[in-house]
Chain A
Amino acid sequence: MRVGVVVFPGSNCDHDCYDVCDRILGVPTTMIWHQETRLPDCDVLIIPGGFSYGDYLRVGAIARFSPIMDAVIDFANRGGLVIGICNGFQILLEAGLLPGVLLRNRSTKFICESVFIRVESNQNRFTRNYRSNQVISLPIAHAEGNYYIDADGLADLEEKQQILFRYASENGEISDIANPNGSLENIAGICNAQGNVLGMMPHPERVADPILGLTDGIALFQSLL
């Protein structure tokens, strides 16, 4: 397996994703500059977190027009695996690869903390190394992670089992108190209908190395091997 990490000006989790794939999992990994128009040979693309284009205009709105994005969309449409984390999720929404939008957190503040996430289903390429309904701990770090979609869109997501992660209590209850940013139905991560494009606000790459304490994120990367 080969991984490509797309780098936009302002990306800042690119090195972290690279480190997990390259150093921890030993997978050949390439950084891809946003001005490229062709992808190197790879099986998985990661759109990392950060502040692409300084979050100016609207999060992800400018990065979506970077030259590399046509190739990313084409890769996804041909069934390639794409993961957008945090700002990467925002870019995938702007690019139309995933449905819905991410609004400002309801507290209006940036939030960085570890939260509990319930894995909704493991019948998916990205979550197959977790158990369904498993509660894992992942960090979030964002100001715009408040997921929203209209009623039809939500019904669609639920029907096609596209909701992969929800904010939950330690015991797996989905409640308002366990919802850090106001996301609709506590949604923390979704995939597309075909199941090959994942967008999520939590950062699995930050909890993949035992020396840092928690390691609940590594299974997501291992699911792809």
Chain B
Amino acid sequence: MSDPTAEDIAKHPLSPDEYKKICTLLDRKPNSCELAIFSAMWSEHCSYKSSRIHLKRFPTEGEHVIEGPGENAGVVDIGEGMVAVFKIESHNHPSYIEPYQGAATGVGGILRDIFTMGARPVALLNSLRFGPLDVPKNRYLLEHVVEGIAAYGNCMGVPTIGGEIYFHEVYSKNPLVNVFCLGIAKRSEIVTAKAGGVGNPVIYVGSKTGRDGIHGATMASAELTEAAEKRHTVQVGDPFTEKRLLEACLELFKSDAIVGIQDMGAAGLTSSSSEMADRGKTGLDIDLLKVPRREEGMIPEELMISESQERMLIVAKKGREAEVEKIFHKWDLDFSVIGVVTDDQMLRVREGDTIVAEIPVYALTSEAPVYERPIKPPKFQEIIQSLNVDLLQEPSSYSETLLTLLASPTLASKEWVYRQYDHMVQTNTVTGPGADAAVIRLKGSKRALAMTVDGNSTYCLLNPYYGGAITVAEAARNLVCVGALPIALSDCLNFANPEKPETMWHFSACIEGMVDACERFSIPVVSGNVSFYNEALDQGIYPTPVIGMVGLIKSLETPLTPGFKEAGEHIILIGETREEFGGTVYLKEIHSQERGYPPVLDFGKEKRVQDVVLKAAEAGILTAAHDCSEGGLALALADCCLLSEAGVGAIIKLQPQTIRMDGTLFSESQSRIVVTVKEEQLPALFTLIEEGSVPHTQLGVTGGNQLKIDLETQNKTIIQVPISKMRVAHSGGLKNYFEKSDSSA
């Protein structure tokens, strides 16, 4: 083994201290292959070195939790011997460099994380952030990201049932692509990623290895400079191979021939082999000459860190190799025994008889650096939190304001996007995209699962603590609105450069808010992902924690949805509206300001509001429920009209207001849910409201084909817009950037 040259070392983003630590751990200098292995495993992406001490604060246990963070995905008990396996993950940098393949392989990666646990993926959701659509590059990014997600998910036959998209300047050079996947398995069928049993064979299955995605993990752990130069670091996806890999793996898991399995994701063969050995407290001895490859002349370090897609590493029981081989050959996939499990806790990599790397496993995993990065609030934090409400002029026409908000890309209909996703395949989709949360039924059971992805980066910028807490609260509220009990979440923490103390201040405070909310609402974190360095040309993104939350519906009778059902039902607002303009869509879109103190979250009240609505939903009292969030009460009511299959409108009669009218309509006060009930169910709802001691307002009744909001005492109409007119604004807000509004297809 030759010592690395200065050039070798400079190729890797390792600090001088980190290099020194490597030499100490090895008790010698690393060779260039070993250096590449360390560099990948100690990258931010694989080691979580800046985030690890903060992530420890999350509650990870609860009555439903079977497997928390640390495995490929979290596992929760959903009753009747079934478990849900889920995780959310980012693929941000690749999606800027090469949007179609970047997004597609983001879907591919998270799918493998789920089926490698023994679960069949049954649902995908995604959370996307782009720059404003009047910039052609941003339209290009959105169009190709969506096509990439669609191409991969649709081909896999896994429905994409929900998601969210926000637009803001800070994402122009650093869009976010976060993908959530959930799978279902029998509890007894869960497979883990441990390399156990000395002497057991280590098997490579799936696609061949090429040079694509080399240095992907390290690329994702630095700020983006010139995208075109990095294109070779983006992997190329092949969903057809992945579909065969999925079916082959699930067929394999039905036998008891395997001990453990892990996806070759970020840092490829390097991370899968060392992490499996780490969990099994074993060593691995692998021969690179046996790795199937599709390019000639690949050197050991390339083989070790290639991120070619659709590959898995398996540890099988000794003597069962032929069984495994038969299954993978049935599905026309590569199969090769590349090594053996050893007892010396070393990762030993060879090319035939030549050893090319020999590293103690712990040096790559538990000995990876951990940093307590400095923390400092941004200089202008107090200034951006200030807002003089008296200077905000109330709009002259609230109807026009409503239409403007409905047409703003962030609030507009995302149908142009989600009609490109197959959201019905597998025939489980009870409630698809467009509602508060998506719902799938579990075949052969009365049970159903609800899921949602949520994040609000403006709140997190203005007050990261409340921003973080509201992310959790709102996701839970969305689940409650479809009648589901929130049981666990997965988080995807998208932040800027962690070497900047301001980024770490955002990060730490967001987590603090999320932790408090998780604890108060008893919702543990079971899996997650951190994406740092979302920063280009010194412009960092806003702090953007995104969570995917899962809820359980014990007995699905009639799905609860946000659309108004029929005329003559009572519309009730549960919760109360305060004059909170800070960070609202109204403030940004109408007054072109992004500042102020975001809405405050009262944990106790939030929980009581959710409990009342969940009880009412479970009792079958409600005919519709909708979270009141971005855009405020006016947008919530407009949504209920727009989502009404029968085209039912609303007649709202407001009592004299103690706050400004634009506050009543567009304030984004938390802990509010709009519900409808039939006349005869009103007393039952009021009983629950009283028992829960939550504030409420009777807003009016459903009916007509318009949204009409009157100020009753003054006999004055505030808003009057036909649903058809709202629909034009809402459906065109995003679509018109991509299609001429008058074209039929």
Contact = CB atoms under 8 A, between A and B. Distances in A.
Interface of A: 9-10, 12-13, 15-16, 19-20, 23, 49-51, 53-56, 105-107, 109-113, 139, 141, 176-177, 179-182, 203, 205-206, 208-209, 211-213
Interface stretch (B151-159, B459-467, B651-659): B151-159
Give the one of A55, A177, A211 with max B CB within 10 A. Answer: A211
A9 B239 contact: no
B427 A179 contact: no
9 contacts: A9-B240, A9-B331, A12-B155, A20-B427, A50-B157, A51-B155, A105-B745, A106-B745, A181-B745
B745 A54 contact: no
Contact of A54 (B240, B425, B426, B556): B240
Give the one of A10, A179, A206 with max B CB within 10 A. Answer: A10
Given A12-B156, A211-B556, A182 B745 contact: yes
B28 interface: no
B139 to A, nearest CB: 14
A56 B422 CA distance: 19
Contacts of B419: 109, 111-113
A9 B443 CA distance: 24
Given A54-B238, A211-B441, A206 B155 contact: no
Interface in B218-261: 238-241, 243-244, 247
A206 B240 contact: no
Contacts of A15: 426
Contacts of B421: 110, 112
A51 B156 CA distance: 8
- Return the 8 tightest CB-CB contacts between A and B, nearest first: A12-B157, A54-B240, A51-B155, A141-B422, A16-B427, A107-B745, A112-B422, A110-B420
A106 B563 CA distance: 32
B429 A212 contact: yes
Contact of B243 (A10, A13, A182): A10
Interface in B414-458: 418-430, 441, 443-444
A112 B423 contact: yes
Chain A interface main SS type = loop
B427 A51 contact: no
B240 A19 contact: no
B744 interface: yes
Given A51-B154, A54-B155, A12 B427 contact: no
Nearest to A11: B157
A54 B310 CA distance: 14
Contact of B424 (A9, A180, A181, A206): A206
B430 A212 contact: yes
B420 A112 contact: yes
Contacts of B247: 9
A186 to B, nearest CB: 12
A109 to B, nearest CB: 5
A9 B332 contact: yes
Nearest to B423: A112
Contact of B427 (A50, A107, A206): A206
Give the one of B240, B443, B739 with max A CB within 10 A. Answer: B240
B559 to A, nearest CB: 8
Nearest to A177: B744
Contact of A9 (B150, B243, B428): B243
Given A12-B156, A54-B239, A112-B419, A203 B244 contact: no
B92 to A, nearest CB: 24
Interface in B380-429: 418-429
A106 B743 CA distance: 11
A181 B421 CA distance: 15
B240 A111 contact: no
A13 B430 contact: no
Interface string B718-745: 0000000000000000000001000011
Given A110-B151, A211-B430, 11 more contacts: A9-B243, A20-B427, A51-B240, A56-B240, A107-B739, A109-B420, A110-B150, A110-B422, A112-B419, A211-B441, A212-B429
Contact of A10 (B151, B240, B418, B426): B240
Contacts of B418: 112
Contacts, number: 96
A13 to B, nearest CB: 6
A71 B422 CA distance: 31
B302 to A, nearest CB: 26
Interface residues of B, number: 36
Contacts of A176: 744
A8 to B, nearest CB: 11
Contacts of A107: 739, 745
A26 B584 CA distance: 53
A124 to B, nearest CB: 25
Given A50-B157, A179-B745, A206-B424, A19 B430 contact: no
B420 A111 contact: yes
Given A12-B156, A15-B426, A212-B427, A180 B240 contact: no
A19 B244 contact: no
Interface in B139-168: 147, 150-151, 154-157
A220 to B, nearest CB: 15
A12 B150 contact: no
A16 B426 contact: yes
B250 to A, nearest CB: 12
Contacts of B441: 211-212
A221 B488 CA distance: 39
Nearest to B440: A212
B600 to A, nearest CB: 39
Given A180-B745, A182-B745, A212-B427, A10 B155 contact: yes
Contacts of A177: 744
Give the one of B332, B423, B424, B556 with max A CB within 10 A. Answer: B424
A193 to B, nearest CB: 31
Given A141-B424, A177-B744, A110 B154 contact: yes
Nearest to A24: B427
Interface string B690-720: 0000000000000000000000000000000
A112 B417 CA distance: 10
A9 B241 CA distance: 9
A208 B243 CA distance: 25
Contacts of A206: 424-425, 427
A20 B745 CA distance: 32
Give the one of A49, A112, A139, A209 with max B CB within 10 A. Answer: A112
B427 A23 contact: no
Give the one of B154, B155, B426, B745 with max A CB within 10 A. Answer: B745
A49 B427 CA distance: 13
A203 to B, nearest CB: 7
A185 B332 CA distance: 40
Contacts of A55: 155, 240
B158 to A, nearest CB: 8
Contacts of A106: 745
Given A12-B156, A211-B556, A112 B424 contact: yes
A146 to B, nearest CB: 10
A53 B243 contact: no
A13 B157 contact: yes
B240 A53 contact: yes
A203 B745 contact: no
